[in-house]
Every structure is written in C-alpha cells, then in structure tokens.
Amino acid sequence: MSTSSSDAWTLGIDFGTSTTFAAHSHSPGRTIASIRLSHDASTMQSSVFVESPELVDVGAVAIDKARANPTGFLSAPKRTIAQGTAHVNGYDLPASVPIAAIFRSVIDRAAAEHNSVPPESLVITHPESWSEREVQVLLDAAAAVGFERTRVRTVSEARAAAHYYTRAKGLRSGSKIAVFDYGGGTLDVAVLSMNDDGSFQVLAADGDVNNGGRYLDSLIREWVDEELSTTHPEALAYLRSSARVEQHYALADSITRAKELLSESRTARILVPTGEGQLSLELSRGVLEKIIDAPLRHAHDMTAAVLERAGITSAYDLEALYLTGGSSRIPLVAERLALLGPITTLDDPKAVVALGALTAAQPVARAQRLTDVAADSGTNGRTGAPQKSHGAPSSNALRGTRTPHRGKWVAGFAIAAVIVLALGGIVWLTLSGGDDNSVPTESAEPATDVSPDGPATTKEEVLAALPSQFAQDLTACEISGETTYGGLEIRCDFLDEAASLAGTDETHRPHFFTVSADPDYTTSELAAMRKGLRESSMAETNELLENNARTAAAAISNNELSTDLKYSNSETHVSFQIFSFESSEAAKDFLKRGGFLAD
C-alpha cells in the first residue's frame, strides 16, 4: 500500500523477549518519537494467547485470557524463533505467526496516530548475533501483515542503539562505542566503530539468552520462597499447591515492580497472595544486590571479554559504554561496569533501540568472513583467538558466543574443580545436597567421524556422530533449529523399544531429545558445565560427570518432579539435552546404555 509523500511515515519496532517498543518518523531527519502501545505505557508485553492459528491475542489481553486457559499462552514468542516452531494450545505454528500478531497490533496502534494511515515502511530490530534464518522469521511475520521485503529493513539492536547515541551526542569517524543492552529476556553486548559515512562496523559481539530481567525476577522469587519457608510456611504451601493462576501473575508483577522501584528507592515491598488475602515482604536494595550478584558478575565478565576481542585495551579507547534496556537501570550494573569504560545513559533505556532504528540509514560494514579471518590469524577461525592488528575480529565475535546462563554460581566450585583435576578421573560433583560417587568410565566412539572443520549441517551428519547402537533407538528425526554457532539441531523421538531406555519407569520415560554435532557449541557447553553455569537453581542436586580425558561431560539436575540431563563431547562434537528422567541413576543408566559412557 502506497501513501502520498505528505502522509508517508516510517515505523520502527523493537520486538523484545519480554516487551515490545515502537517509534515513528515522517522522514529521516524529522522528529522521532515513541508510540504508546498500551493505555498506560509506551510498551506492550511481547506475549500472545493463541485461540487458533487465525485468532491470536497479544499483550495485556493475552495475559488476561491466560488466566482461564494457560495452555494457550505464549509468554515469549521471540524464544521460539531458534527452533522455528511454536507449540501452543495444541497447535504447531510457524514462529512467524504469533510474531505477526504482535506486529499487527503495533502497526494498528501506531496508525491511529496518523489518521489510520499505515506506515510506508518498517524498520525491525534484532540481536546482532542472529543468523539470516532467524532474521527471516521477522521478515515472514512482516509479510504476513502486508509488508513485502522491499518495505522492510532490519537493523541489529546494537547498531540501532549506536545510531541513537550519535544522534544525541555526535561521534567522530573512527570513534568506538560499546553497547550494553540488558533487556527483559537477554543480555547483548557489542563494540562498534563509526565509519566515515556514518555507518557502524561491528568489531565484536556476544550475548546471553537467559541473563535478563526475567532471570533476575526468578532469583528474587527464590528469595521470596526462602523467606516464606522460615517466616510464613503456610503462605509458601498455599503458593505451591492452591494459588490461582492470576495470583501467580500478581506475585510476578509485584516482584518486577519492586525490582524496578529499587533503582530509585532503598526499599520496596513485594505483595504475596495467601489463602486469606496477602502479606508483604520488604526487599532492600542491599539484599537485591546480593541476590543478583552472580548474573551481574557474569555480565561484567562477558562485557570485558567482548571489549578484549574488539581490541579495547583501556577505558580511554571507548567514547562511551552505553547502557540500554530496562535492566541496565539497576544501580549495581553501572557500578560493576564503571572500570570498563565511560558509562553513559540517554533518555528511557527501554526505548532507545526503537528510536535508534529509525536513524540507522546505512548498513553495517561487516568484518571479514570466517575464511578471511582464518587466513589472517593463522587459526581455523573458530577459536576466538586474538586477531592481528590489521585483521578483522573473529567470526565468533561477529555472531556472538551465546552463553546461556541458568541457576546459581556455587561457592567453592573452583576448589571442587581442582580436586577433579588432581584425581584425574571421573568424579560426580554433588553441588547441592546428595552423596558423592566415583564412576570410572570412558566416552564411546562415534559411529562415523565428523569433520573437525565445522558443524554438522544435515540430519544424516548429526545422526552419524552418535554411537551406532544409540542411533538405532531413534525415529522421526526432524530439524528443530540451530545452535548459536549455526550448526544444525534436530529433534528425535525414542522408539518404544529403545534399548537405551530399557527398565525406565513409563511414567517418567523421556519421549524425545534434541541433539547437534557442532564443535564450537560443544566447546562452549563443556566450559559452561565446568563453571557451574548449567546447574539448575531449582534442583535439589546438581551433578557433573567427566571422563578421564576430560573430553566429555554430563550435567544432571534432579528435583522432586524430574531429572534433566545435558551432555557434550568434544571428540564427537555431540551435544544433547533430555528432560524428565525418573532419577539421577536413570539418567546415568541411559548414558551407559546409549554408549555415551562405557562401563
């Protein structure tokens, strides 16, 4: 649909994991402003309720309908992009379908401010590390609401934020800026350099798909449960067994509000529903800072690593360390990052990406491709090793080394790791409760060698990397997504007679698993397991198993409901995860029966 030049306007959409923002402008250089997306805020919850593929509600309406039918609720459609499919309310939908509903709502609300004239074009943001396939999901969603490819531009969130900073402060050619985007669902860090034409070159980037505001909220919820267990055990019992869906939503909302209030106040209150009304817990900023200390340390370390890969050796090398995203308003965030660069914030940190998207007129000048980097650095281009001064950053830096973060960092884990190394064998590390056990074992050889030069890119290559006896237990294998390094991930069902699951209790029998054969992803997962980043904060015990050569590891998290297993092997490049074992012993038996760990 075309509009006259006098009516033409552009809509920028920052589709986030937790919330969505939008901004509009009549033309480049004209005034850019945020758009009110709900009755009381410029933001909209990125949540949907799927009644059917043709009827999808969004935002506050979706949350309201979820109270009556939680199975139709999808709290974070952005997280379904990796696998390409959203499973909700009995439907398997392309990931673009719920996202299109959000885009439609944003477009309609924005058009209301332009006499119902729709935008001439869209600018949609995305994480710097996303693959073309992931970006294509956004383009598919835009096409579904009437915007063909020629009317849509995509801009990385880091570049959009850098453009907004330039619009407000101005930058000289060659200036470097770091963007620390701490949103509701994820943390993304990037270092950019301004080119002569005003565009930006991305020097290095990284992201953590699980370290965001929602994760911080989950840690506060754990604190609430701990407080209730000692002061109001009856209230905790009510929450766990009798509380209604809307009461859980109300508690989650109270936690988020308290966290945000503590950015300005020293204390805040969390309202906890009970069977007889509600009670109030006081949370101080000091206690909050202790609760969220581990993820903020992780954020600091990730930022320091990105700066190093970008060649930033001093805080004076940066024009600004620009904090964006709602979670960046927590005072401790700026305190932790202060030594890394000159901290800068502008306006509402939640809105700058949508505003900056409209000023991002030129494409980012990408650094050299993987093969060029390998030639310059003398490496295989996949190790993230420092580059020569004249070379481009590694492809890992450009794509982002995603480091999913769950659970708590356990005090004394480094000491335990030293003990493992000293013994030189396989040791089960019980990180919280339970007994220690030593199980000498070796990892099995793959059925077929996998090329060490890159990830498996077909189903056949992934299956060939598995132990041959285990591959016979699988059926209905389908592509489910990609690893964060671009390797293929597949999902397979277990045969009813699967030998690897022999003797498993039918009520706790896993029915499927997801697997990849990607050397970089496996290396990342092994490092994360050894650092304790794959342990579950909700588990009664977290156990780590490694072979004598330290080429394979399995992380097992056990709680009263189920036991979950994650496994990675640097020789075969296989990584997988399986949920819902009956016990830790059942998970260990599976590893042995499947040929992943020999007797």
Per mean pLDDT, which range of 15-24, 339-348, 504-513 is the poorest?
504-513
What is the per-residue pLDDT for 29?
Answer: 47
> pLDDT tier at 166 (50, 70, 90 boundaries)?
confident
> pLDDT tier at 3 (50, 70, 90 boundaries)?
low
Cα torsion angle, 343, 348, 354, 360, sign: negative
Which has the higher per-residue pLDDT, 496 or 50? 50
- Please, what CATH class does the domain formed by 10-147 belong to? alpha beta
Per mean pLDDT, which range of 4-8, 80-84, 372-376 is the poorest?
372-376
What is the per-residue pLDDT for 525?
Answer: 82
What is the per-residue pLDDT for 169?
Answer: 80
Partners of 267 in beta bridges: 284
What is the per-residue pLDDT for 395?
Answer: 30
What is the per-residue pLDDT for 567?
Answer: 93
pLDDT tens figures, 539-558: 578 889 988 888 999 999 87
Average pLDDT over residues 152-162: 92
Per mean pLDDT, which range of 189-203, 300-314, 355-369, 581-595 is the poorest?
355-369
Domain map of the chain by residue range? 10-147, 413-593
pLDDT tens figures, 34-81: 888 887 678 899 999 999 999 999 998 998 888 888 889 998 899 899
Pairs from 221-227 (Cβ < 8 Å, separation ≥ 24): 221/251, 221/252, 221/255, 222/291, 222/537, 222/538, 223/283, 223/287, 223/291, 224/251, 224/255, 224/270, 224/272, 224/281, 227/281
Per mean pLDDT, which range of 55-69, 393-407, 561-575 is the poorest?
393-407
pLDDT tens figures, 470-490: 999 999 888 766 665 667 888
pLDDT above 70 (res 2): no
Give the span between the Cα atoms of 458 and 450, in whole angstroms.
12
pLDDT tens figures, 266-293: 999 999 999 888 999 999 999 999 999 9
Strands 176-182 and 320-324: parallel
Residue located via tokens 């766990």: 240
Which tokens hold the place of 591? Answer: 């590893």
Residue located via tokens 């007994």: 435
pLDDT tens figures, 202-225: 999 998 888 899 899 999 999 999
Q: Of 297, 299, 231, 244, which is closest to residue 223 (Cα–Cα)? A: 231
pLDDT above 50 (res 429): no
pLDDT above 50 (res 418): no
Average pLDDT over residues 491-505: 86
What is the per-residue pLDDT for 478?
Answer: 83
Q: How many alpha carbons lie under 13 Å from residue 196 in its C-beta half-sphere?
A: 0
pLDDT above 50 (res 387): no
What is the per-residue pLDDT for 432?
Answer: 34
Q: Which residues contact 355 (CB under 8 A, 6 or more apart)?
A: 12, 23, 32, 33, 34, 164, 347
Instruction: Read off φ and ψ for residue 288, nearest 5 degrees.
Output: -55, -45
Query: Which amino acid is located at 480 in the chain?
Result: S
Give the span between the Cα atoms of 233 and 555, in whole angstroms.
31
> pLDDT tier at 300 (50, 70, 90 boundaries)?
very high
